[in-house]
């Protein structure tokens, strides 16, 4: 698997594994999710991104990221999806 930064368009290898399935409730709804953990290589392009990342992806074909936790040299970052436009066509 490769992680691509934007707008730099650089890629580097990372490992990812599914830890478990978990139900997540947000202001939007309740989602059934896969909890995926990744470790970005320490020699990655952006050193401050190095570390552990946990992402909750919906358990459907869209795999929407609902939540994210990250640890890095700068500290901890937590994010939760606040809104989604489901009317857009792909």
Which burial class, exposed, middle or buried, applies to 19 when counting CB atoms under 10 A from its CB (0-12, 13-18, 19+)?
Answer: exposed
C-alpha of 35 from chain center: 9
What number of H helices and E strands is found in the chain?
0, 6
pLDDT of 84 reads 80
What does pTM read for this prediction? 0.72
pLDDT of 1 reads 47
> Domain segments of the chain: what residues?
2-80
pLDDT for 14-41, tens place per residue? 678 899 999 999 998 999 999 999 876 5
pLDDT for 36-80, tens place per residue? 998 765 555 454 555 678 999 999 998 889 999 987 777 888 999
């Amino acid at each position: 698997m490769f992680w691509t930064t934007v707008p730099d368009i650089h890629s580097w290898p990372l490992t990812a594994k599914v830890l478990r399935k978990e139900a997540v409730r947000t202001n939007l709804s309740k989602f059934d999710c896969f909890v995926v953990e990744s470790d970005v290589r320490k020699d990655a392009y952006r050193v401050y991104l190095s570390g552990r990342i946990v992402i909750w992806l919906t358990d459907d074909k869209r795999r929407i990221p609902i939540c994210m936790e990250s640890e890095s040299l700068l500290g901890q970052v937590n994010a939760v999806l606040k809104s989604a436009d489901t009317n857009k066509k792909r």
